[in-house]
A and B are shown apart, each in its own frame.
Chain A
């Protein structure tokens, strides 16, 4: 693959190499791109213009911190990064995501951010129990808790408040959506929905990392339009959009993932997500 007269140089920023990264490396090589793997744990990331060179970069760091900070470095050199620091920061912070989506009228579960037990109790009395308590950042369902009554909410908030780190002093509280034993993960690449799955579980947390079972799902127009609207709001070229099905309100956007895993999507749908991402990344370089 050539950009003008030269090979397209693709930098992939990564820490842990999962199946997804191996699939992506192969996809770039199959396209004939020049691949530069940047393992951020051992590679200094310059924060000045000209510090790094590539036509385009794909961000695949598992660590949120490494993803955002290393993206700043690539952007300092004028390299387009998929996804940009704006998209990464937006999707990392659940309150920021909720705020931007709300401004555009995108349906979501009702959510609050609180900084004290007192405020959490007020929220719960408005939403009614059970309520879901989440850290403002994180995924795989980690540290996500269900408070079924005031006693449980007190316990969760008091425990969180005593954890070290500023991130445990703010809490994202969300209404509990009575979804039908599943949610939907939509994979967006560029301006297309390339695949979608149901994540089914008897547990209320349906992440595949928490045991949710993936099943292929063919998205209809409504899901496609909603997912692409989300993309318009948060930006980004590769996104995992998580949807709930509410019996009364229809589809609700729960979260947006800016460095999505896709091994289960690819496995159950048969869609070559890695190649779709690689093709899009190379196209971005050619623009």
Chain B
């Protein structure tokens, strides 16, 4: 499916079985997080990676 990038406005291709919370890299350089709104998929700029656990 195609979702609009909130940063550059161009379409972003995401898989039909995408999960809420998945991270998508867009060609414009934006790192985006998948959110669900009802049946709709929305992308928001990723935040909060400074407060993390790691490997």
Residues of chain A whose beta carbon lies under 8 Å from any beta carbon of chain B: 14-18, 21-22, 25, 37, 39, 41-42, 62-65, 67, 138-142, 185, 207-209, 240, 257-265
Q: How far is the CB of A182 from chain B (nearest CB, A)?
A: 14
Q: How many A-B residue pairs have CB under 8 A?
A: 74
Partner of B55, one of A39, A142, A258, A265: A265
Number of residues on chain B facing chain A (CB within 8 A): 18
24 CB < 8 A contacts A-B: A14-B21, A15-B21, A15-B48, A16-B22, A16-B23, A16-B49, A17-B21, A18-B23, A39-B20, A39-B21, A62-B53, A63-B48, A63-B51, A63-B52, A64-B52, A67-B53, A138-B52, A207-B55, A240-B55, A258-B53, A260-B55, A261-B53, A261-B55, A264-B55
B19 contacts the other chain (CB 8 A): yes
Q: Knowing A16-B33, A63-B48, say if A42 contacts B55 (CB, 8 Å).
A: no
B12 contacts the other chain (CB 8 A): no
| Contacting pair A257 B54 (CB below 8 A) | yes
A138 to B50, CA, bound (A): 8
A234 to B35, CA, bound (A): 34
The interface centre, meaning the residue of A21, A41, A264 with most chain B CB atoms within 10 A of its CB, is A41
Give the residues in chain A near B51, CB-CB below 8 Å.
62-65, 138
A42 to B49, CA, bound (A): 17
Q: How far is the CB of B45 from chain A (nearest CB, A)?
A: 13
Nearest B residue (CB) for A22: B19
B46 contacts the other chain (CB 8 A): yes
Q: How far is the CB of A63 from chain B (nearest CB, A)?
A: 5
Q: Knowing A15-B48, A16-B46, A62-B48, say if A41 contacts B21 (CB, 8 Å).
A: yes
